[in-house]
Amino acid sequence: MMKRNFGKVECLLAVALTLGVPAFAQSSDSSAVIQDDSKLSFTLDEAKKYALAHNRTIKNASYDVQKSEAARWKAIASMLPQVSGNVGYNYFFDKKSTMKSGEMEFPISNPAYFEFGITATATVSGSQIVGVKVSKIAEELSQIGTGKTDQVITANVEKSYVNILALEKTRELLTRNLENLNNLHKMTMNAVKAGAAEQNDADQIAVQVSSMNSALNQTSRGIEVLYNTIRLMTGAKPDAEIVLTQTLDDVVNPETILSLMGEDLSLSRNFDYLLKWKSLELSDKQVTLSKMAYVPNLSLFYNYASKAFPGDEGMNMVPPHTVGFKLNVPIFSSGSRWADVKSAKLDYEKARNEMEDTEQQLGIQARQLRYNLTSAYENFEIQSNNIGVMQRVFKSNTEKFKYGTISSMQLTTSSTELVNAQNTYINALLDMVNAHVELRNLLNR
């Protein structure tokens, strides 16, 4: 039964590594209680906030938003005037040129000169206007993606936090049972020496002690793996001590968990749906953008040019001011523009189908997650009662074995049943918490 616990532990660690969560803290700006650089104390909410402030995956997502915002301003700037200046110097090594007039040739000197110029241009096209709208949608997509990343990180912090508390409770129960078994083993060995019990009884209890020791060690290793996951997600130092300041009863409230059952699915709050919706909007703008290839574009320019000669022999015949415009009209592209528009329309249809599929899938998923949560809660209630029964049975059998009314085999069986009941209870609790987190993420509550 313990293997199931560690499958979840390994899964959480794999998620953390896949997300690229950081291995080192960046600052102390969070709501966590910080004793020093090597110790962090967290409530569950504090752990989530600390992860949001220090997780590098989340920081990278915010950088993507800033990049998309910069891209939008770049698209806007492409329609605004662009001004450039130039300065230069030309020297011809006293090379003379000639100018011919009829039969006469006149030598002309080529004096050195400085030149100065300023050019202002502005281009406006339909593609640029639509491109600004496309970049705005891309920015909104990045913002939604950031929200989705925040949700994934905090959900995995919560799962790790609860898993640690659950396994620590398991460790406490195993430690208590191990102490009882050790006492029974010593008592049985004394009885064997006195000839009041058989060696076989002591050996069976010794095997059970070894088995429970192994389970205890495995549980401790699982807890350390989960603490490493918390360190990764929160950006704590690899050797930082993590202290969880809440108990399992503080963070797991069955009544609060079941309160989600009455919540309706609002697609406008679901990140997956919002991503698909914005992707559809982006595909629609891409169709418009491809059509803009048929629209003329207008370019305006102004140019100022000046020459300065070191001597008086130079003559400047370049007009200092020039202004003009150019209208570029698409005429014939051998069908390439038509192909681009058709391709964009097909992408839009695909995006619309994907959005409709997502809407249907989310509705089905909401029903399934509610079913999962109901089943997990019912199983949790059953296992909560069962572990109490098994604990009382084991305690009773321990007393009976002391007085020789049951065999060592019966005591061993009772001990195994108690450990299995403990593991089943912990797994039921984790199943309930995981089902709650998944439904809450779907509803974005």
Q: What is the rounded CA–CA span in Å between residue 430 and residue 438?
A: 12
Element (H, E) at 117: strand 113-124
Instruction: Label residue 157 exposed, middle or buried (CB < 10 Å: 0-12, 13-18, 19+).
Output: buried
pLDDT for residue 28 is more than 50: no
pLDDT for residue 212 is more than 60: yes
Average pLDDT for 147-161: 92
Average pLDDT for 191-217: 85
Give the pLDDT band (50/70/90) at residue 93: confident
Average pLDDT for 259-263: 84
What digits encode the pLDDT tens for the residues 159-187? 999 999 999 988 988 888 888 888 888 88
pLDDT for residue 224 is more than 90: yes
Do the beta carbons of residue 262 and residue 373 sit within 8 Å? no
What digits encode the pLDDT tens for the residues 394-416? 888 888 887 878 887 888 888 88
Q: What is the rounded CA–CA span in Å between residue 56 and residue 107?
A: 73
User: Is 86 strand, coil or helix?
Assistant: strand
Do the beta carbons of residue 442 and residue 369 sit within 8 Å? yes
Nearest partner of 77 among 124, 119, 143, 138, judged by Cα: 124
Do the beta carbons of residue 413 and residue 205 sit within 8 Å? no
What does DSSP assign to residue 438? H
Q: What is the pLDDT of residue 1?
A: 37
What digits encode the pLDDT tens for the residues 60-86? 888 889 998 998 898 999 889 999 999
Give the pLDDT band (50/70/90) at residue 32: low
User: Is 149 strand, coil or helix?
Assistant: helix
Geometric angle at alpha carbon 353, from 351 and 358, rounded to 5°: 95
Average pLDDT for 313-338: 84
Beta-bridge partner residues of 121? 82, 301
Hey, where are the domains in the chain?
2-443
Do the beta carbons of residue 96 and residue 313 sit within 8 Å? no
When the pLDDT of each residue in the chain is averaged and rounded to a whole number, the result is: 84
Overall CATH class of domain 2-443 = mainly alpha
Q: What is the pLDDT of residue 351?
A: 94
Beta-bridge partner residues of 399? none
Q: What is the rounded CA–CA span in Å between residue 100 and residue 215?
A: 107
pLDDT for residue 210 is more than 60: yes
What does DSSP assign to residue 119? E
Q: Above pLDDT 70, what percent of the chain?
A: 87
Give the pLDDT band (50/70/90) at residue 11: very low
pTM for the whole structure: 0.76
Average pLDDT for 233-240: 87
pLDDT for residue 31 is more than 70: no
Residue type, 296: P
Q: Above pLDDT 90, what percent of the chain?
A: 43
Give whole-number Cα distances, 404 to 189, 196, 397, 415, in Å.
Answer: 14, 10, 10, 17
Q: What is the pLDDT of residue 291?
A: 92
